[in-house]
Amino acid sequence: IQAIVHLVRTKAHPGAKILLDACQSLPHMPVDVQSLDVDFLAGSGHKMCGPTGIGFLWGKEDVLNSLPPYMGGGEMIRDVYMDNSTYADAPARFEAGTPPIAQAVGLGAAIDYLETIGMERIHDYELELGDYLRRRLEDVEGITVLGPGVGTERAALCAFVAGNVHPSDLSTFLDVEGVAIRAGHHCCQPLHRALGYSHSARASLYFYNTKEDVDRFVEVLEETLRFFGSLGNIVDGGEGGNGKDGDDEGFVPIF
C-alpha cells in the first residue's frame, strides 16, 4: 500500500488530495494512516466482521474541517441565524441526524475483536493459508488460476476458471455441498477483459478458515468438475462456458 501511495504522490498535482479505498486491506493487515500520509481513508464494516450498512471515512482533521457539510440536520451545526449558519467541527458536521447507533457499536466491537487477535497474526496466517490454497489448486485438473503463480506472495484467495464450466454453475453446485465461493466479475471487469475472460470463480479465505477447509473445497471442486466432464463437451469445449476473450454473449449458465 505504501508503494502505491508514494507512486500517486509523485505523479499527482502537489495540491491534490489522496483518498485511499482500504476496504479490502483493513481486515487483513495492519494499516497505519500516519505512515501512509493519505488525506482520506475509507473502510467497510461488514468486511471486517462488523455489521452491514456501515463504514467509515478517516480524514486529516484540517482537511475535514475545510470541507462544507453535504447534508443538513441535527447535531451538525454550531450556530443558526436567519440568514446564515456556522457548522460544528468534524466529524460532527458530516453526521447530521440520528446516526446508525447499533451498527456503530457493532463495528467498534468488531474492531476490538480483530485487534485482540492481532492484525500481524491475521496477516501472517492468511499468507500461509493463501499459499496452501494456491498450491492445492495447482493440482486440480481442468482449471486455470488467475494471478500470481505458486510461491508468490498473495492474498488468501484465488480466482480461477474451469474450462467451459460457467462460474455461476460451479458456485451453485459447490453451494449444494456446503462450500461457498463467489462467481462473477469481482468488481474488476477491465481486468477480466485484459485476461481474456468475462467472469471467474473465486475462493476467498479469512482467519477463521483452516487448511482442512481448503482440502474440503478442493475435494468438492474436483467432484463437481468430474460431474460436468461426464456431461460431454461442456468442460473441454462447446458453448456456454467461461466467455474466453470476454464474450458475455456466449456465457450462458445451466441454471
Q: What is the mean pLDDT of residues 5-16?
A: 88
Instruction: Report the C-alpha gap between 88 and 59 in whole angstroms.
Output: 16
What pLDDT does residue 6 have?
87
Name residues whose C-beta falls within 8 Å of residue 234's C-beta, 6 or more positions apart in sequence.
Answer: 163, 164, 165, 228, 240, 241
pLDDT band at 248 (very low <50, low <70, confident <90, very high): low
What pLDDT does residue 178 have?
96
Average confidence score pLDDT of the chain: 90
Cβ neighbours around 149 below 10 Å, total: 9
Given a cut of 90, whether residue 172 has pLDDT beyond it is: yes
Q: What is the mean pLDDT of residues 57-86?
A: 93
Residue 67 zone, left/alpha/beta (φ > 0; ψ -120 to 50; rest)? beta
What pLDDT does residue 233 have?
56
pLDDT digits (tens, 9 = 90+) for 106-150: 999 999 999 999 999 999 999 999 999 999 999 999 999 999 999
- Higher per-residue confidence, 106 vs 253: 106
What pLDDT does residue 235 have?
47
What pLDDT does residue 237 have?
46
- With cell 451453485, the residue in question is 172
Given a cut of 60, whether residue 25 has pLDDT beyond it is: yes
pLDDT digits (tens, 9 = 90+) for 194-243: 999 999 999 999 999 999 999 999 999 999 999 998 886 544 444 445 65
Long-range pairs for 95-101: beta carbons < 8 A, 24 or more residues apart: 96/69, 96/71, 96/72, 97/71, 97/73, 98/74, 100/53, 100/54
187 included as an active-site residue: yes
pLDDT band at 190 (very low <50, low <70, confident <90, very high): very high
> Which cell goes with 20?
485511499
Given a cut of 80, whether residue 253 has pLDDT beyond it is: no
Does residue 199 contact residue 189 with C-beta atoms inside 8 Å? Answer: no
- Higher per-residue confidence, 103 vs 246: 103
- The catalytically annotated residue of 23, 158, 187, 188 is 187
Name residues whose C-beta falls within 8 Å of residue 122's C-beta, 6 or more positions apart in sequence.
Answer: 27, 28, 29, 114, 207
